[in-house]
Structure 1
Amino acid sequence: MLKVLICDERPLISGALQQMLAEEPDLEIVGVADSGVHAMILMRSHHPDVVVSGPRLGGMSGTDLAVQLRDAATDSKPPLVLYGVPDTESGLDEALQAGVDGLCADDAGREELVLAIKAVAQGGAMLGPSIAHRLLSWFRQSEHPAVAEPGPLATSLTSRERQVLTLTAQGMSIDEIAEELFIGVATVRTHLYRVKSKLELRDRAALVAFVYQRGLMQESGDDAAD
């Protein structure tokens, strides 16, 4: 049973999310917050496994809440799914840099949202289809496309670390990466720790952004052959 905290300043939206997720037998709604302060209080008392937030909360945005969770001085830092991502490139970039683990458009259905919740709860990442399409269009139309040369930080990675990095950027969970590469879960965690240390990145969202910005995704096939 996954414990879920819903955060949105609009009662109509938070009520709809409650009703939508209540149909899932393995999800439990442990609270509903209408402000950032209220959300942080409920997180300390209920320890949710996943936070689902809308783009606006009383006193802060959903991305602001993601930053607070990322920087909180506590061992309990639940992943966050942002529901209703701003329809701009800057909004997507801000969400990724803030450490959001799942991104869903405001027209996402119950199945997509549930998949996102379960994916981030398992240590993975999730981009809704429309979000993924917008990101791809953004990078393809950019005046400054991803550079072919990955740079000294990326070249410091071993072949296996690059594999783990690119699979992570594809949204695979730690368990899925272990199965794909025929290695243990603990080994995947070790590789991810080393990758974050070498690249000086703090979370999964930053890793995803790094891979696409440096053009590393297209090299994943070459890494697998090494």
Structure 2
Amino acid sequence: MTDDVEQQPLRVVVADDQALVRIGFRLILESEGIEVVAEAEDGEQAVAAVRRSRPDVVLMDIRMPGLDGLEATRRILAAPSPQPPRIIMLTTFDLDHYVYAAMAAGASGFLLKDVTPEHLAAAVRLVRTGDALLAPAITRRLVERFARPTAPDAAAPHRELATLTPRELEVMGLLARGLSNAELAARLQLSEATVKTHVARILGKLGLRDRAQVVVAAYETGLVSVGAAAPDPR
């Protein structure tokens, strides 16, 4: 299924209140054969553009006038859709509490605005498949800083954690610490295909969209402790 998705044209909406940023991202993506189907300068326009053009991925600035990127993300992902887009949050800062809130709302990851052209194009392709979490080490720091595992209702949405096998819990914990599929495979002495199967089962059992939400769930349920060091995959 992933291979079929990768063969289809990749369609992107770019939402940012700075015209130069939108132009720059458009040029980078189109030079890589990625189609930018719409641009938006605020959250309202982003929601409308997604509804109209049905993209695969949205590059969403967090801080925009009027409706910000966080609320726009919530509205986009709350709208009925057989295939909602993956949303990548754009920020100038590598630790921004809005990014954590957006990930908890369903965004698939985030990028700093000074991302290299090669990383931007690769990130859009990766997040489209849901196969990889963007900037996992930075995302882990972000979640560690803003997650609140002791909140009264923090674990309520994820009581299904009990349905995971010991191996799936192990994979989820390592994934939340920022390990890639290749690193997971090496550490657990499994094939990458088997790792992908475990990740898919975790997503299905917990009703999560992608690896970004797995990270959030792992910290909020206490499966991974805030401040826990990333394990050495070697």
Report what 1:30 is aligned to: 37
Is residue 75 of structure 1 aligned with residue 82 of structure 2? yes
Q: 2:109 aligns with which of 102, 117, 122?
A: 102
Aligned pairs for 1:156-167 within 5 A = 156-166=163-173
Report what 1:49 is aligned to: 56
**Cα distance in 1, alignment partners of residues 19 and 218 from structure 2:** 37
Residues 205 and 11 of structure 1, relative CA distance in 2, 3 Å threshold = same
Residues 104 and 220 of structure 1, relative CA distance in 2, 3 Å threshold = closer
Q: 1:59 aligns with which of 66, 79, 82?
A: 66
Report what 2:224 is aligned to: 216
Percent identity (aligned) = 27
Report what 2:10 is aligned to: 2
Aligned pairs for 1:79-94 within 5 A = 79-84=86-91, 86=93, 88-94=95-101
Report what 2:129 is aligned to: 122
Assess if the C-alpha contact under 8 Å between 2:144 and 2:219 holds in 1: no
- Give 3-state SS (helix, strand or coil) of 1:74's partner: coil
Q: C-alpha displacement at 1:17, in angstroms? A: 1.3
Residues 138 and 16 of structure 1, relative CA distance in 2, 3 Å threshold = same
TM-score (norm 1): 0.71
Q: C-alpha displacement at 1:130, in angstroms? A: 7.6
Assess if the C-alpha contact under 8 Å between 1:55 and 1:86 holds in 2: no
Q: C-alpha displacement at 1:203, in angstroms? A: 5.9
Q: C-alpha displacement at 1:64, in angstroms? A: 1.5
Assess if the C-alpha contact under 8 Å between 1:55 and 1:62 holds in 2: yes
Q: 1:180 aligns with which of 188, 192, 197?
A: 192
TM-score (norm 2): 0.69
Residues 183 and 203 of structure 1, relative CA distance in 2, 3 Å threshold = closer
- Give 3-state SS (helix, strand or coil) of 1:56's partner: coil
Q: C-alpha displacement at 1:126, in angstroms? A: 2.9
Q: What is the aligned length?
A: 207
Is residue 13 of structure 1 aligned with residue 13 of structure 2? no
Q: How large is the Cα RMSD of the aligned pairs? A: 3.9
Q: Which runs of 5+ in 2 are unaligned?
A: 1-8
1:6 aligned partner, one-letter code: V
**Cα distance in 2, alignment partners of residues 64 and 171 from structure 1:** 29
CA deviation vs aligned residue, 1:56-95 (integer Å, no higher than 9, x gap): 3342222222211221122231000111155545233223
Residues 216 and 9 of structure 1, relative CA distance in 2, 3 Å threshold = same
Q: C-alpha displacement at 1:30, in angstroms? A: 1.0
**Cα distance in 2, alignment partners of residues 15 and 6 from structure 1:** 9
Q: 2:200 aligns with which of 171, 189, 203?
A: 189
Assess if the C-alpha contact under 8 Å between 1:120 and 1:126 holds in 2: yes
CA deviation vs aligned residue, 1:188-212 (integer Å, no higher than 9, x gap): 534421133xxxx676433211223
Is residue 40 of structure 1 aligned with residue 41 of structure 2? no
**Cα distance in 1, alignment partners of residues 48 and 56 from structure 2:** 15
1:216 aligned partner, one-letter code: V
